[in-house]
Amino acid sequence: MKIAQIGELILRTPAQAVSQAEFNQPSLIKFSEELLATMLEANGIGIAAPQVFDPRAMMFIASRPNVRYPDAPLMDPLLLINPTIVAQSDNKVWEWEGCLSVPGLRGNILRPDWVDVKYQNQQGDKLQQRFEGFVARIFLHEFDHLIGLTWLDHITDTNQIMANDVWIKTLEQEQTTQTCR
């Protein structure tokens, strides 16, 4: 699937709830599989349906260590349908984020360090879960896509933006410095 890029209207449009009639249907299952495959092919750790031009409130989060996030926890991909935020931490943390829809840039974004979420799975079962740390950040980043936002909307100073290549170089230098200690 093609990934929407910043400036495309779908990224500014709030997502629509998946209807009860869609749950457990072959079309929803097929779309979920394609959404996951698109995220993995792009080496992403999360993706929301609007990023592939689908207006439904669906997302995957899938934390795993990689070049961009070497300390990320490993988790199986999790599909969240019609997610809502129940509660979130008052404590907020700054971290660098990237986005498949904003290629080449990273942003230093302030987000809560945990979030409680209600959502549905493919069968329509209602679930609730707390996400903490980096996984909470991934969820909140993807949730932004469902409400018509991107990480760029959280920027208050241009010093919070860095080219992805520069960010990776900085990260590699930090890791080398830590290894030499």
Give the residue numbers marked as catalytic: 142
Query: Is 180 annotated as belonging to a binding site?
Result: no
8-state DSSP, 16: B
Query: Is 145 annotated as belonging to a binding site?
Result: yes
Give the residue from 53, 50, 98 showing the smallest Cα distance to 72: 98
Report long-range pairs for 57-60 (Cβ below 8 Å, ≥24 apart). Answer: 57/15, 57/16, 57/17, 57/18, 57/81, 57/82, 57/83, 57/146, 58/15, 58/18, 58/31, 58/32, 58/82, 59/83, 59/139, 59/142, 59/143, 59/145, 59/146, 60/35, 60/36, 60/142
Query: Is 141 annotated as belonging to a binding site?
Result: yes
Residue ranges of the annotated binding site are 99, 141, 145
Residue ranges of the annotated binding site for Fe cation are 99, 141, 145
